[in-house]
Structure 1
Amino acid sequence: MSVRWLQGLLFLILVIMSLPAVGQTSWQPPDAKLAIEIDGVKGELLANSRIYLRITALEGETVPSIFRVRYLARQGEQEIRSALEPFGFYNVTVTSEIIETDELWTIRYQVDVGPVTTYDQVNFELTGGAKNDEAFQKVIRSLRPVSGQVFNHQAYERFKATLRNLAAERGYYDAAFLKQSVKVETSTQVANVELVFDSGERYLFGETSFCCAFLNNSLLERFIQYQPGEPFTTRALLDLQVDLAGSDYFNRVEVAPLWQNTTENRVPIDVTLSPNERDRYQVGLGYGTDTGARITLGFDRRWVNDRGHRLSSVIRLSEVQNTGFVSYIIPGNNPARDSYSFNGEITDRSFEEQRSTLYKTSFKDLRHYDRWHRTYQLAYQREDFAFGEEPTETSNFLIPSVEWSLIESSNLPENRNIIDDGYRLSIMLQGGHDGALSDTTFASIKVGAKWIHRLNDQWRILLRSEVGALRADDFEVLGPTLRFFAGGDHSVRGYAYQQLGPENSEGVVVGGKYMTASSVEIDYAFKPNWRVALFTDIGNSMMNWDERLKQTVGFGFRWVSPIGPVRLDLAMALDEPSKPWRLHLTLGPDL
């Protein structure tokens, strides 16, 4: 019997033996889908297991060949074991089975994580200048692994990365791990760690030089909030870059430490600047129910001279009010936060039988203190005004004023135009004296607040309140800009702009000594970038505090556009005989 004949016989026998197996194999129908189940783990353990499983790429798809499914299912057992090791599970048992039906094949994994690995011996040492740095001690207290703690790879690596990042941020340029080892004993489920981190010495700021600057060095140096010889921080350099970029003088700002030029542990800082366009022109169209159709024309000269003085001007034209405004701005000691300005304004307003022409010049001193803003102002204004058929009157006032405001907010990560949580507080005091270029003595105060809070992923609550009061020897001399009114898009919705308040004999609203306007609103995100709101507003302008307030209720829609929320509100005036509805359309930030 020849060898070739024996080989052929053997092949035939193998084929015959395989026929029953093939006949018993459950081949998938063409439309069978693949599903994956993992039992025995949940939370981040389950999530990481699914990330490691290669077969999840086929989930929901038509089942490929049985051989490929069985191969990937077996591979998945080891993949799950690898996925759980970073969480301290080194003795994981995984079994798998394939459940076949006509429409669905399910690969089911059963996982037994076993005992978790914990730290036994943890030897950590910090050497170098950072040994006495409180910032490092804070990190060590909060993140350093300790004996008995679960050995979690991610937490361990995060501790090391935090040390490296902190060293870079605080000027320990030569920092490095001299030792970093982890030994895991799978038989006893313990991990032994040895870490030695040498920070080296901390570098100091050297001199800062500006390249290609068209502005005076004395101005540029005022942007710097550190001094040569101070300990280095990248935060200070980031602040410098942000402030220079935000000044509007430059279209490109690069701030870089020159580590290769370090001498005597001092690192020089190089700042490269490219100028912005010197002149900027603006044209804007808009519509608001308070103003009607409007157009804005603006011209700015970003720098007038090498000392960084700026000129800003704008003309706003609308159906209700026309304004021309010009401002000459001088940078302060900290140009990013402080400024002085000389301003001129002409405003002509005619609305619902109220007529006013205001001529105003002012000097402002503006300061920013982190979240706080403070503005001192000294203004002289002349106002020609009339209500209804009354003759035109003229008032003149020299008005010192001060305003404080505080704004703090956080935005949704997925959309920076939506306030997640935040508040705004403001207070303004102003007055005049009849012995100092004013027609009568008066004093007024206005306080405003708004609070926004996200209740959950869909719901927010928005609260707003505003209160104003004034005292005047002769109230009738005060022009409309010095009196209090209520009503409008940002006051009491359901009423027209500034149409709530005391009236004269002709029924024309003339404004009052006191004002209050409050709102409670809740909105709901029914789809991305779209919200629906319910609200109630209450307020009025009065000559006495005991006068009745007006209340409205309404609903609205919000579209979160790329340039900010657009609000469309419909409000009912409950205290009016016919309970009329009024439409309000506004565009702008929540705070």
Structure 2
Amino acid sequence: MTKPSSAPARWPALLFLLIGLALLQGCSLLQRPSSAPHDAPSSITSEAGPDSGPDAFALDVQVEDDTLREYLTRHLELQRFRQLPDLQAHELTRLLGSADANARDLLATQGYFSPEITIELREQATDADAPPRTVLVSVSPGPRTHIASADITLMGEDGHGADATELARRQARLQRGWSLPPGEPFTQQGWDSAKNQGLRDLQARRYPTARIASSRAEVDADRAEAKLQVAYAPGPAYRFGTLQIQGGERYDNEGMRRIARLPTGEDYSEARLLDTQQRLASSGYYDAVFLTLDTEHGDPQSAPVIAQVRDAPLQKMVFGVGISTDSGPRLSMDHTHNRLPGLGWRAVSKVAVDNKRKLLSTDWTGLPHANGWRWFTGLQLQREATGSYDVDSSRLRAGRTKSTDRIDRSYFLQHDTAKNRGEDAPPSSSAISANYGWTGRYFNNNTNPTRGWGLAAELGVGTTLRPERDPFVRTLLRWQSFVGLGRVDLGNNVRRGSRLSLRLEGGAVLARDGADIPVTQLFLTGGDTTVRGYGYRSIGARTDADKLFGGRYMAVGSAEWQRPITVRGNRTDFESALFIDAGAVADTPGDLTARVGVGAGLRWQSPVGPLQADLAYGLHTHQVRLHLRLGYTF
């Protein structure tokens, strides 16, 4: 058995990690020059060289509101000419003539329609390095205009037979979700954003050709009120037709349609269209996929979806180098054949070597049938450090599987062999079993979830083949949930939720006491994704010789508090985490003794997926361990 390294040996790696994360965080927090809002004129400042002399004038904006002062100072047209040292007096006078209107336009975009503005030009006796003049802009903005009412209308179009009930429902939904309700301050940016958001909501479901028919903002400057009116023309309601694949020549289009699972006949949904595109893109058969709804031809109630694709190579080989805190450095080679001769199945073969495991495997998968089920088979040969022993094992399985948007199901036959190596090693054994697996994922994002839950269950019934025949039943249950704990204000109108991540896992192998179950069917736990603070698969049962080995019963639980990190009010891509993990493995339920780990960590939303770095302390081993993990799977 490889003993976990002591705490001091981990500190150099930890220091290196924290320094790296700090540098990445620092880069993400560098201040960028703020750009002008889309409703304000751009401010172009000429860069004066060191020998170009003083500015033509200084600009001094005086207004009580600091936000307005910064806004006007940044976006007044006068800024474009301030750093021209050869600006003549008559040219500056002409510019001042238009400055009043420019300032009023800028203030109107912020909801101030009755300001009092005074502009003065002051000559000043200064040294040669200071501007000879100062333009003083004094502003009393007056009352800010607020929204008095917002009237949102959906117009049915002649000839399309729009469903009045559905339009009324969507109109009420738009009204409820309107981002500029009565009482809110009026701004041009907010008005434009509210209109466009309403349009996007319409186009995202049923009405992809929706447009803004008319919009109007009636401003009563005397009463500082604005009445908003916007009318949307939703156009015809669309339903998905057939998927038409264009550009693909190498692979069976009908099989690709079954992988895509376009919901033909259902109401158009942008989210469902993107899900279909993602399934095709992640299938491995295409290098590029782009889906569009054809709104120019055919019946809107059966609109075709065009898939522009580029075939992936028939074969591909990938070499990999990695490192894990569980198993150390890793070398791997993956070979993919997308269409096996004679079968047309997809084969993915892999060779991987690290400190704990040597693996050779191949998995073959057929294209889905019309009912969504597909055949698969796989062979795995492995040598792995399992508890106190090295185990040479093989696994052969064959069956059928089906994947939907939320649920994966499979049933298969499996043959296992395990040859245990080492002093006083348990007898080698083999078994055959029939298995069923079910996984439901109800997360908001399967690769980086922050809300929702997942549940997975496995059930196997089989018999050992040697050294004796003994029937057994194997069960495994996993559950993961994210519980919201409120919102954290990150500044700049950005809010992100903190959450509690809860995880449970339990398994059992039921057989007579003397049955020799292959260790590949037994349980070990501990490591990056189970019980942090302990080595990889270092929590198990004990043999008669007091050696660590797989156990028949397992229980694992974890609770983790995840919270976004802010730096001086700036949004970051980092989160902090505090956690407690516990796990136990034994041959009888009464012998289950929890091994507990506690710690803290960082989460970074990197471009290649969520990166997790945790520092955990094992209460049983009294050791500190560093755990790194890239990506999330359930």
Give the alignment's TM-score, normalised by structure 1. Answer: 0.73
Q: How does 1:359-378 map to 2 (within 5 A)?
A: 359-378=394-413
Q: Kindly tell me: are residues 535 and 74 of structure 1, through their superposed partners in 2, closer, same or farther at Cα, counting changes over 3 Å?
A: farther
Unaligned runs of 5+ in 1: 1-28, 412-416
Equivalent position of 2:330 in the other structure: 294
Q: How far does residue 286 in structure 1 lie from its aligned partner after superposition?
A: 2.0
Corresponding residue to 2:589 among 544, 551, 556 = 544
Contact 1:249 1:302 in 2 (8 A): yes
How far did residue 508 of structure 1 move?
Answer: 0.9
Match of 1:225 in 2: 262
Structure 2: unaligned runs, 5 residues or longer: 1-52, 491-495
Q: Which amino acid aligns with 1:403?
A: W
- For residue 90 of structure 1, the aligned residue among 102, 106, 113 is 113
- Return the offset for 1:298: 0.8
User: Which letter does structure 2 place at the counterpart of 1:283?
Assistant: F
> Which residue does 2:555 correspond to in 1?
516
State the shift of 1:530 in Å.
Answer: 6.8
Q: Deviation at 1:340?
A: 3.5
Residue number among 422, 431, 445 corresponding to 2:460 in the alignment:
431
Alignment of 1:14-93 (within 5 A): 39-41=63-65, 52-54=75-77, 78-86=101-109, 88-93=111-116
Does 1:127 find its partner at 2:156? yes
Query: Any conservation in 1 of the 2:407–2:438 contact (CA below 8 Å)?
Result: no
**1:141 partnered with 2:175:** yes
Q: 1:261 to 1:95 in 2, by over 3 A?
A: same
Corresponding residue number in structure 2 for 1:587: 629
C-alpha displacement of 1:300:
0.6
CA gap of 1:343–1:450, structure 2 versus 1, over 3 A, is same
Rounded to whole Å, the distance in 1 between the matches of 2:600 and 2:210 is 59
Structure exhibiting the larger radius of gyration computed from Cα positions: 1
Checking the alignment, whether the CA contact within 8 Å between 1:402 and 1:429 is kept in structure 2 is: yes
Contact 1:300 1:311 in 2 (8 A): yes
Partner Cα distance (1:341, 1:383) in 2 = 23
Aligned counterparts of 1:287 and 1:189: Cα–Cα separation in 2? 64
Give a deviation string over 1:338-370, Cα, whole Å, max 9, x none: 643211222222355323222222234433443
Equivalents in 2 of 1:583, 1:146: separation in Å?
52
Residues 81 and 93 of structure 1 are in contact (CA less than 8 Å); yes or no, is this contact kept in structure 2? Answer: no
Query: Pairwise CA RMSD of aligned residues?
Result: 4.9
Partner of 2:3: none
SS for the counterpart of 1:127 is coil
1:316 aligned partner, one-letter code? A
CA separation of 1:147 and 1:340: change in aligned 2, threshold 3 A = same
Q: 125-134 or 198-207: which moved more?
A: 198-207
Q: Which amino acid aligns with 2:390?
A: R
In the TM superposition, what is the alpha-carbon distance from 1:394 to its structure 2 partner?
1.3
Deviation of the 1:332 alpha carbon: 2.2
Superposed CA deviations along residues 56-106 of structure 1, whole A, max 9, x for unmatched, are: 7899x9999997999988866644432342454322234578999999999
Deviation at 1:329?
Answer: 0.8
1:385 maps to: 420
CA distance in structure 1 between the aligned counterparts of 2:229 and 2:387, rounded to whole angstroms: 80
Alignment correspondent of 2:474: 443
Structure 1 residues 537 and 280, CA gap change in structure 2 (3 angstroms): same
Deviation at 1:541, TM superposition (A): 1.6
Amino acid across the alignment from 2:630: G
CA distance in 2 between partners of 1:50 and 1:369 (Å): 56
| Pairs within 5 Å for 1:131-280 | 132=164, 133-134=166-167, 136-142=170-176, 153-154=188-189, 156-158=191-193, 160-161=195-196, 165=200, 180=215, 184=219, 186=221, 197-202=232-237, 209-214=244-249, 215-222=251-258, 223=260, 225-227=262-264, 237-257=273-293, 261-262=297-298, 269-280=305-316
Secondary structure of the residue that 2:471 maps to in structure 1? coil
Measure, in 2, the Cα distance between the counterparts of 1:123 and 1:589: 43
TM-score, normalised by the number of residues in structure 2: 0.69
> Is the deviation greater in 377-386 or in 169-178?
169-178
* CA shift in 2, pair 1:497/1:155, >3 Å: closer
Going from structure 1 to structure 2, the CA distance change for 1:71 and 1:475 (only over 3 Å counts) comes to: farther
CA–CA distance in structure 2, aligned partners of residues 216 and 155 of structure 1: 49
Q: Kindly, what percent of the aligned residue pairs are identical?
A: 19
Residue number among 313, 335, 345 corresponding to 2:380 in the alignment: 345
User: When the two structures are aligned, how many residues end up with a matched partner?
Assistant: 550
Q: Distance in 2 between matches of 1:205 and 1:558?
A: 39
Cα distance in structure 2, aligned partners of 1:31 and 1:446? 73
Deviations 1:151-210 (A, max 9, x none): 664555456545655665567687666655555454565667776655554466666543
Q: For structure 1, which segment, 443-452 or 102-111, has the greater mean C-alpha deviation from structure 2 after superposition?
A: 102-111
Select the structure with the greater relative contact order (CA < 8 A; seq sep ≥ 6).
2
